[in-house]
């Protein structure tokens, strides 16, 4: 038996819904409310709970970023500072913070659908800038091979498309 799952396979949420039912297996009224809720909302209650918790998390991420900006710049942090150096930092923080918030809001309960990014404002002060801007990569050009041979293309079109789809997820 293979212990791997397909990359694009859906998460089996039925297990989580059954676990909730086990907690109240002897409560007849709960089962009645559960089935009526599921038929009215067209979703399992665990899906609704996950949706609520996701919105709560999005709000907390946004609030923590706003709190960080207030501490760094002022009460009116959304206004660009007059100083050129402060304006550069402010702009970098706003751009990176907005990217973090957008990625958070597009994430699902089980996956970072648009990709993830570090919440740089939650890092220690000495590491924030590197977490925001990334670590510079130093490559010694003369140590790289001078000639590389391309890998031959996959002859099977189906496998080639599957490899492309899998690698495109990470490239995006």
Question: Which of 33-42, 51-60, 163-172 is predicted least confidently?
Answer: 33-42
For the stretch 118-127, pLDDT in tens is 999 999 999 9
Residue corresponding to tokens 């402010």 = 90
For the stretch 137-154, pLDDT in tens is 888 888 887 777 888 888
Q: What is the pLDDT of residue 43?
A: 67
The two three-digit tokens of residue 147, written as one number: 């000639």
**Torsion sign (Cα): 17, 23, 28, 34:** negative
Distance CA 137, CA 157 (A): 35
Q: 120, 115, 63, 58: which is closest to 89 by C-alpha?
A: 120
Q: What is the pLDDT of residue 118?
A: 92
Number of neighbours of residue 58 by Cβ within 10 angstroms = 15
Q: What is the pLDDT of residue 24?
A: 67
Q: What is the pLDDT of residue 80?
A: 74
With a cut of 70, say whether residue 6 has pLDDT above it. Answer: no
Q: Average of pLDDT values for 8-35?
A: 71
Global pTM reads 0.66
**pLDDT classification of 99: cutoffs 50, 70, 90:** very high
């Amino acid at each position: 038996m293979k212990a791997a799952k397909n990359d694009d396979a859906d998460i089996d949420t039925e297990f989580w819904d059954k676990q909730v039912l086990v907690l109240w297996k002897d409560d007849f009224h709960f089962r009645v409310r559960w089935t009526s809720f599921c038929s009215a909302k067209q979703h399992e209650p665990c899906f609704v709970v996950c949706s609520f918790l996701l919105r709560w998390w999005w709000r907390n991420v946004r609030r923590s970023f706003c709190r960080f900006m207030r501490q760094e710049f002022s009460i009116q942090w959304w206004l660009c500072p007059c100083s050129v150096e402060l304006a550069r930092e402010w702009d970098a923080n706003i751009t990176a913070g907005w990217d973090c918030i957008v990625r958070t809001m597009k994430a699902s309960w089980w996956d970072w659908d648009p990709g993830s990014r570090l919440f740089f404002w939650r890092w220690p002060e000495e590491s924030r800038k590197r977490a925001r801007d990334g670590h510079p990569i130093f490559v010694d050009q003369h140590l790289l091979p001078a000639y590389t041979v391309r890998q031959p293309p996959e002859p099977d079109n189906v496998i080639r498309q599957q490899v492309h789809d899998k690698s495109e997820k990470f490239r995006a």
